[in-house]
Amino acid sequence: MSDKISVIIPIYNGEKYLVRCLDSLKNQTWQNMEFLLIDDGSKDGSAAICKQYATDDSRFQYQYKKNGGVSSARNLGLKLATGDYIGFCDCDDRMDDNYYYLLLTAAHMNGADIAISGMSVERENEVKSISQEGLCSVLSREEALTEMALGKISVSSCNKLYSAKCIETIRFREDIHVGEDGLFCTEVLMKTNVAVFCNDVVYHYIANDDSVMHTVFHPKMWDVITANTVALEVMNAMPTSVTNAQRTNLVRAVCYLLEKACTDHMLDKARYKSCVKILREQNTKPIINQLTVGGKCRFYIFKSGRFSLQLYCWICPMLYRIYRSHNR
């Protein structure tokens, strides 16, 4: 097993965590690697850090580009990559030392085009793991698409190792700013026959409170609906069970966005109507039954009327504050 792995790291003003990330790459037990450091127009000290690593270790390659967003940086990395396998890493995340060896070995042992690891989502006072029971699961294309749509596998592009032949002409949508990872993974999975999921939590996603998804509602968040709708179109020829799972994912996304926009007082009448239209189009038992109890409640409340949505968004935070005060 002598495959070369190309890891693409988009970087924008990442100096705070960059050394930790690059050290976790440098320390990988699998040695035949190239690390493509794509500087997306950083204005802090990221460039100096990257250049130092490139000087000290020939596997690190630094490339500057004008700021265009994470998707454009990843796409440039895909253009430059020469590896047999492709991986992605965000510049504020970190990996265990055996991360790429584990995924590459799993891919070879199971004849898989994509190897997926468990991952943790880490905030200052909280660590949440996204994984499954069992040591290793071999999944068909249909099973992998279904489990990703239902949230059993993360939609992140970063906790995965891809055979380069499966990506070829697939690129990240640069006009979609949130949700582009899930769409990319869907398109790649459509090109594969077998995926393997390793339960080991070896990729650590660091939740950055400054990012779009962790601040007050931002209009770019509506791109999640576009991403999920396009993903549904991409898997149109899949069995109904697969497309129903993706429709469930679309319902979850719409409900999340409605709640977030309403809570932050950024939901206009036209957008509410378009979201309710989507919810009503997905109102079938095979789709709704896959939601959690809370998800079903939000679905029925949100599509019943804007007043119901507003009432929900007013009451729930109040109840949560009461609950927190009683449990201190």
Q: What is the pLDDT of residues 165-177, one digit of tens each?
A: 999 999 999 999 9
Burial class, 205, CB count within 10 angstroms (exposed 0-12 / middle 13-18 / buried 19+): buried
Give the pLDDT mean for 71-90. Answer: 98
56-81 b/e with 16+ CB inside 10 Å = b? eeebbbbbeeeeebbbbbbbbbbeeb
Q: What is the pLDDT of residues 301-317, one digit of tens each?
A: 999 999 999 999 988 87
Q: What's the pLDDT score for residue 271? A: 96
Q: What's the pLDDT score for residue 200? A: 87
Q: What are phi and psi of 55, to 5 degrees?
A: -70, -40
Q: Residue 226 pLDDT > 90, yes or no?
A: yes
pTM for the full model? 0.91
Closest listed residue to residue 281, CA positions, set 250, 256, 239: 250
Helix, strand, coil shares of the chain, percent, nearest 5, are 50, 20, 30
